[in-house]
Amino acid sequence: MQPLYKIKNTGFSLPELMIAMTLSLLIILGIATIFSSLKNTSAYSQQLENTQEVLRFSNSMFSRAIHRADEMDDKSYTDSDGNTYKQLDLTFNLDNLDAGETYTSCLGNDMSSQYYESYRLTDGQLMCAEYTTVGLDDGSKSFTAIGTNIEALTFATTDNLLTITITPADETESVQMMFAQRQAILGLNE
């Protein structure tokens, strides 16, 4: 007796395998393209986030400091290696503080009597020094990094107004921020 039907034990044909491999390749290429696009978008988003953080921090730091400062001066200094940089020097008299009231310095220390702050850019880092000695030599100041990812930073003072031009790292465009001392806002120096 013969079986009513024959079971054919064959695999896929060559054209079927080629079509399946081509479809698989197209799917893999599509996924790779999407992944590459997402990776580029993520890198750009991270760069934009860093830029915004640099600008937000700089605005917050300088706005607080300039508003509280009694005197400010922008100067150019040359260090022992011959590098020239712009520096902003601020004076805080604190004569009008109530008993027990303090100001917080750029380094986070509570100050209750006259002190000074200096800001400058060194190797892409925003540096700050706080000190209580008037006329302290620039080489004697102890600078501490308080911000990073800054390509360029300049200061320019006009009367009681300060213009800061900052270029975040990995950016080609600079941003200018203008700040007024409280004396200019209140009209105390007229």
**What's at 155, amino acid-wise?**
F
Domain membership of residue 154 (yes or no) is yes
Q: Which residue has the higher pLDDT, 120 or 81?
A: 120
**What's at 144, amino acid-wise?**
T
Mean pLDDT (the chain) is 85
pLDDT at 109: 92
pLDDT at 190: 46
Q: With bands split at pLDDT 50, 70 and 90, how would you rate the model's confidence at 107?
A: very high
Domain membership of residue 171 (yes or no) is yes
Domain membership of residue 1 (yes or no) is no
pLDDT at 130: 93
What's the pLDDT tens digit per position in 57-87? 989 999 989 888 888 888 888 777 887 888 8
Q: 80-102: string of b/e by CB count within 10 Å (b at 16+)?
A: eeeeeebbbbbebebeeeeeeee
Domain membership of residue 58 (yes or no) is yes
- In angstroms, the CA 111 to CA 114 distance is 8
CA dist 183 to 85, 155, 161, 169, Å?
27, 19, 10, 33
Share of the chain above pLDDT 70, in %: 91
Q: Reduce the DSSP state of residue 161 to 3 states and report it.
A: strand
Domain membership of residue 21 (yes or no) is no
Domain membership of residue 136 (yes or no) is yes
Domain membership of residue 78 (yes or no) is yes
Average pLDDT on 103-116 reads: 89
Average pLDDT on 142-151 reads: 91
Please tell me whether the overall predicted TM-score, pTM, comes out greater than 0.85 for this model. Answer: no
Domain membership of residue 96 (yes or no) is yes
Count up the domains in the chain and report the number.
Answer: 1
Indicate the burial class of 158 (C-beta count within 10 angstroms; 0-12, 13-18, 19 or more): exposed
Q: With bands split at pLDDT 50, 70 and 90, how would you rate the model's confidence at 24?
A: very high
- In angstroms, the CA 114 to CA 134 distance is 9
User: Domain residues for 121?
Assistant: 46-186
pLDDT at 26: 95
Share of the chain above pLDDT 90, in %: 35
